[in-house]
Amino acid sequence: MTPSSTTTARTDVLGARLLGSRQRALLAVASITGVLVFWGVFTSAGWVDRVLLPSPQEVFRSLLDSVRDGSLLRHVAASLLRVLEGFAIALAAAVPLGIAMGVSRVVRGILEPLLELLRPIPPIALIPLAILWFGIDELSKVLIIAYGAFFPILLNTMAGFREVDLVHVRAARALGAKRHHIFRDVVLRSAFPFIVVGARVGMGMAFIVLVAAELIASSAGLGFLISDARYNFRTDQMFLGMAMIGLLGFALNKALLEVERRLLKWKSP
């Protein structure tokens, strides 16, 4: 092995060599293909009623039919807009509050008891109250989604600012860095990966709450699609709705990871 290859090879914390992007993509394709093949063989063999578990071909035909009549685009657009709006509200509220609670013991002492009382309350339990206060329009759904995404972002932001290495802060202060420079270049950079993790967890919670909200009170959206399909015994459409939720969540998670990669180019993969 040449010196150049040893310096460029990247390993994980246990010393194992990291997979390249092409290898990861091949493994992802292989795993998804394997699941689809097993699913198709399982349903084709007649081991389960097609009403309970449709074949991949039936779900794909349902996808084509929904694309042709435009219903799928309408449901995806409605759900995606609600998730993005609720997530944006949660991010805008949780990150500044998490920063304040992470750097100030006074702020944390005032707000932490109240937030810890609210955090165990599941968002689903607040849906009837949100409908009573704000009606069945978009506002109630967006606020419930924001509530579900808020706490994961808040807790991870607090953890990021509380886990900053004080050695780095002291080193920057010894080199003559001003207070705002230390905050921007040391503290914020150290905490940013925690914020991204919180955002990813919050995005997952946003989709969970979205489906619950749309199942109860909605006339469009992927949750409504799943609920409507249940009443019509269309399990192929139920699987289609779940698959679209998974694809949307996957795409948004990749977008957050790309933001982290671009903003933190110094961070090891």
pLDDT the model gives residue 6: 43
Which CATH number do you get for residue 131?
A: 1.10.3720.10
Together in a domain, 40 and 158? no
What's the confidence (pLDDT) of residue 13? Answer: 52
pLDDT of residue 16: 64
Q: Are residues 10 and 86 in the same domain?
A: no
Indicate whether 42 and 157 sit together in one domain.
no
* In a shared domain, residues 115 and 173: yes
Q: What pLDDT, on a 0 to 100 scale, did the predictor assign at position 217?
A: 66
Domain of 58, in residue numbers: 54-263
Q: How far apart are CA 98 and CA 35, in angstroms?
A: 40
If asked whether residues 6 and 107 sit together in one domain, one would say: no
Residues 138 and 224 in one domain: yes
Question: What pLDDT does residue 103 have?
Answer: 78
What pLDDT sits at residue 87? 92
- pLDDT tens per residue across span 117-136: 888 888 888 888 888 888 77
The string over 189-199, giving b where at least 16 C-beta atoms fall within 10 Å of a residue's C-beta and e elsewhere, is bbbbebbbbbb
Helix, strand or coil, per DSSP, at residue 12: coil
pLDDT at position 131 is 81
The CA distance from 223 to 208, in Å, is 10
Alpha-carbon span 107 to 89, nearest angstrom = 21
Pair 245, 117 in one domain: yes
Question: Are 133 and 254 within one domain?
Answer: yes
Q: Which residues in the chain land under pLDDT 50?
A: 1-8
Closest by CA position to 95, among listed 151, 163, 43: 151
Looking at residue 150, what is its pLDDT?
93
Please indicate, yes or no, whether residues 14 and 81 belong to a single structural domain of this protein.
Answer: no
What's the CA gap between 260 and 240, in Å, rounded? 30
pTM across the whole model: 0.77
- If asked whether residues 133 and 21 sit together in one domain, one would say no
Q: Are residues 171 and 255 in the same domain?
A: yes
Domain count, the chain: 2
pLDDT of the residue at 22? 78
Listed in sequence order, the DSSP H helices in 137-234 are 138-162, 166-174, 179-182, 188-216, 222-231
pLDDT recorded at residue 4:
44
pLDDT attached to residue 1: 43
268 belongs to a structural domain: no
The CA distance from 206 to 201, in Å, is 9
Residues 138 and 257 in one domain: yes
pLDDT given at position 7: 43
